[in-house]
Amino acid sequence: MKSIRRSTAVLAALALALPLPLAAAGTALATPSATTAVAATSTPSSLHLKLPRPTGPYAIGRDTLHLVDTSRRDPWVPSAGARELMVSMFYPAHAGSGAATAPYMTTKEAQLLLEKQQQGKNFPPEVLSGTRTHAHTGARPLAGRHPLVVLSPGFSLNRATLTLLSEELTSRGYVVALVDHAYETFGTTFPGGRTLTCVACDTVEHAPSKEAAQKLMTKVAEGRAADVSFLLDALTGRHHTEGAAAARKYARLIDPHRIGMAGHSIGGNSAATAMAADRRIRAGVNMDGSFFAPVPRSGLNGRPFLMLGSKAGHSPASEDTTWPRDWRRLDGWKRWLTVADAGHFTFIDIPVLAAQAGIVDPSAPLPGKRSGEITRDYVGAFFDQQLRGIHRPLLDGPTAANPEVSFQNP
């Protein structure tokens, strides 16, 4: 599995580019070589990271939900009790309303992420947690019902790593639910000062065989699918468990007939798994994730799906055979796009932030700015077309403006 091993290399690069052994959970499933990088000339204390300004016309509000599914015990720590989620809710808002700019992540979350890369002493967590966003807490929502997109991050990665895409979609008129799944990140801060760490990572790392680890990753995707169904119930007023009262206020903002899901790495696999389990999800995107949990042989009931991945890792002849297998099973509108010079983390915030620190990853030389633009443009076009009925020619075939992007049709 590429995601875990690559996360160590690339996030270590973000933390001043000091090469480290690849020691993250699940390395038995991955074989790419370690990433080397060039350190920034600026010192960590001088860095002021910021996300690109979204391109859409709408201002962005953001709130945080803590949801507890009392019908399920946590699959990784059953003794902890009910399954918990932390959800960042992004929504179109009235310009000028709301309080301060929303934080990127908590300092504790940044600290744990950096410590996992053995970089805690070299890169102040306040620099990462202080990344400037474009959302405002407590902003006044725009009236009306908007399409909803659920986003799920890569294994071990905090939900903050999909903030760029969340803000972009919201600026275009979507409500976005960005989810952290308990015990599946290096660190997620919950109410009351609790910060849960990646028990699932440790479980995968200590699996007795590659096959056992793959089964555990299937468990991750299936568990996230259940998380998303619970989340949809809460957001549409169908569930009344702990935290649901705060979630129900979004019911008036969400069109329940226009729901999509996207994810990075195992989050992308989870999008397909959630679609197979819940027909409310009308469209899905997998960004560079192996399909540990396969698409059903019967397909997804004709619903559209976008596969967006790196050329090296997810071309038809690449090592990951789950993409050609599941491409054949997709029975609705579909696209398989690959991006040249991309890496596993091209589709999240990391390359954008790394570029600001003067860091390059020779194994994925696509500039950080282009990484953000390609993800923003193609994922946004997909949901515009599938959830809003707006034809986007960008999805019709290759364009001169995007020479890095190839359309695969094996």
- pLDDT at position 251: 93
DSSP 344: T
pTM for this model (two decimals): 0.91
Above 60 in pLDDT, residue 36?
no
Confidence of residue 245 (pLDDT cuts 50, 70, 90): confident
Q: Where are the domains of the chain?
A: 48-349+368-408
- pLDDT at position 233: 94
Q: What's the Cα-to-Cα distance from 292 to each of 29, 168, 173, 323, 400, rounded to whole Å?
A: 11, 28, 32, 10, 34
DSSP 185: B
User: pLDDT by residue (tens digit) across 322-370?
Assistant: 999 999 999 999 999 999 999 999 999 999 998 998 888 899 999 999 9
Instruction: Dump the DSSP string for 200-211.
Output: HHHHHHT-SSHH
Above 70 in pLDDT, residue 156?
yes
Q: Worst-scoring range by mean pLDDT, 26-40, 62-76, 221-235, 340-354? A: 26-40
Confidence of residue 237 (pLDDT cuts 50, 70, 90): confident
CATH topology of domain 48-349+368-408: Rossmann fold (3.40.50)
Above 80 in pLDDT, residue 271?
yes
Residues 6+ apart with CB under 8 A from 2: 29, 30, 32, 265, 290, 313, 320, 344
Q: What's the Cα-to-Cα distance from 355 to each of 83, 95, 288, 359, 365, rounded to whole Å?
A: 37, 29, 21, 5, 11
Residue type, 45: S
Side-chain-side CA neighbours of 14 within 13 Å: the count stands at: 28
Residues in the chain: 410
Q: Is the CB of residue 327 less than 8 Å from the CB of residue 315?
A: no
Average pLDDT over residues 214-222: 98
User: pLDDT by residue (tens digit) across 370-407?
Assistant: 999 999 999 999 999 999 999 999 999 999 999 999 99
- pLDDT at position 21: 25
Above 70 in pLDDT, residue 236?
yes
Owner of token pair 């902890």: 80
3-class SS of residue 380 = helix
